[in-house]
Amino acid sequence: MPPANKLLLSVLNGKKPEKTPLWLMRQAGRYLPEYRALRAEKGGFLDLATDPDAAAEVTLQPIRRFGFDGAILFSDILMIPHAIGQDLRFEAGEGPRLSPPLVDSLLASLEPATERLEPVYRTVEKVAAALPAETTFLGFGGSPWTVSTYMVAGRGSKDQGETRRKAYSDPAAFAEIIDAVGAMTIDYLSAQIEAGVEAVQLFDSWAGSLAPAQFEQWVIAPTARIVAGLKVRHPNVPVIGFPKGAGGKLPAYARETGVDAIGIDETVDPQWAAAVLPENMPVQGNLDPLALIAGGEALASAVDRILSSFANRPHVFNLGHGILPDTPIQHVEQLIALVRR
């Protein structure tokens, strides 16, 4: 289907249609009973994400149930360090683990294993063949800063302290990690595009932990290199940047990275964002996931504020972060009705 007939893709390309497209970060996941059933059958998260048939089914589940305007590939941002050579596992109740952690190991000691990305590309092919014609297919990767925080610490953390210390104490060594992630991310997203995705999103979930100078060095500059590299290969494929927690640094990110659209989290005032971000740049967001859990009038009021704030620019309705596992399905249905009324 031509891009003009795909609502989400047309908005990412800067159009402002009468309807607002809608998709949700983590829309394929634990709040859906069909996902929980398949997860129980397949076992661990990594087993599910690297089984192309299962991962394609998970990607398609929320499209079948809700008819979102966009389908987001079911995978994980840590597939890149896994391909760079770190071992990846998911501990029940504790999240991902990468070994060896690079806080005390050298990047050069890792043996690249890019074949670990092949199941992702097969998943993309299967989903692309099965999606409704009007649905935009989104691929994604993690931005170098956020991915590197896991690579250095070997796990997630509340303040990314170990990685911030390393970036200050040994910026040359840390830059090698950032550069390795960035280079592989260009190849990774390019391969997703070649396999069938129509737009890509860069998740920088921990961008908010950096001081302004470090934000310029470790978020804006590496993201700009990825966007530039992708535009050489795929000049017409939109790139969404999502620097969670960037706050007042959002305008600089929007101006300097070259992204086509910007995702904003729930802590950003949508009226402020509409006023300070580049004119006509598509904005994605930014409903608080807890407002979705609350439902009712709280949800309706929040939706109205977001829609009215972005009424004069291209806007993709989304959450300010991922949908939470205890989100009632009927509240998702209420959200869809409110956005599409």
- Catalytic residue IDs: 26, 30, 39, 76, 150
Whether 138 contacts 202, CB under 8 Å:
no
Q: How far is CA 317 from the centre of its chain?
A: 14
**ω into residue 286 within 30 of 0, thus cis?**
yes
Strand partners, 262: 241, 283
* Spatial distance between the Cα atoms of 106 and 129, rounded to a whole number of angstroms: 41
Whether 206 contacts 249, CB under 8 Å:
no
Backbone dihedral angles phi then psi of residue 329, each to the nearest 5 degrees: -60, -35
Strands (E), 27-91: 70-72, 87-91
Give DSSP secondary structure letters for 2-29. -GGGSHHHHHHTT---SSPPB--TT-SS
Q: For 309, how many CA atoms within 13 A lie in the half-sphere containing its CB?
A: 25
Enter the tokens of residue 149: 């925080």
Query: Helices 161-169 and 171-195 sit at what angle, rounded to 10 degrees?
Result: 120
